């Protein structure tokens, strides 16, 4: 496209020509926007088809708009085994990870039930 430069003196013909250019550019922008919308729609359809065939659980979660709940631990309150010591608030990410691992190891350790002693009594 070759758009002429602005003139110092405007006349009716020049104004009509500017309107024509404006309409042409507006129509071209509208067509490009429509093409972009259609491209996005096609991409989403393809994405949904892939989800249907490969990951049905994720597809159902998206369709039903189920919330994606994640637990984020950004601080931990650590209590020592000694009752007279104060509790400690841990906020450093590396220390938090260590304390959480330590807690779960202690919580889910192998238990010593001593059923034999109970049976004897």
Q: What angle do CA 8, 13, 16 make, to 5 degrees?
A: 105
Res. 3 pLDDT band, cuts 50 70 90: low
**pTM (2 d.p.):** 0.41
Instruction: Report residue 3 as tokens.
Output: 């758009």
- Give the Cα separation of 58 and 52 in Å (integer): 9
Q: Where are the domains of the chain?
A: 12-63, 76-120
pLDDT tens by residue, 45-99: 998 888 888 888 888 888 888 887 888 889 999 888 777 778 889 999 999 999 9
């Amino acid at each position: 496209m070759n758009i002429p430069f602005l003139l110092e003196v405007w006349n009716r013909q020049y104004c009509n020509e500017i309107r024509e250019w404006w309409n042409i550019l507006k129509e071209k922008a509208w067509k490009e926007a429509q093409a972009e919308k259609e491209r996005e729609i096609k991409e989403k359809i393809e994405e949904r088809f892939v989800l249907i065939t490969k990951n049905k659980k994720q597809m159902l979660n998206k369709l039903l708009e189920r919330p994606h709940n994640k637990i984020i631990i950004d601080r931990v309150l650590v209590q020592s085994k000694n009752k007279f010591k104060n509790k400690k608030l841990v906020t450093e990410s590396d220390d938090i990870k260590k304390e959480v691992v330590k807690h779960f190891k202690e919580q889910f350790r192998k238990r010593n039930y001593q059923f034999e002693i109970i049976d004897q009594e």
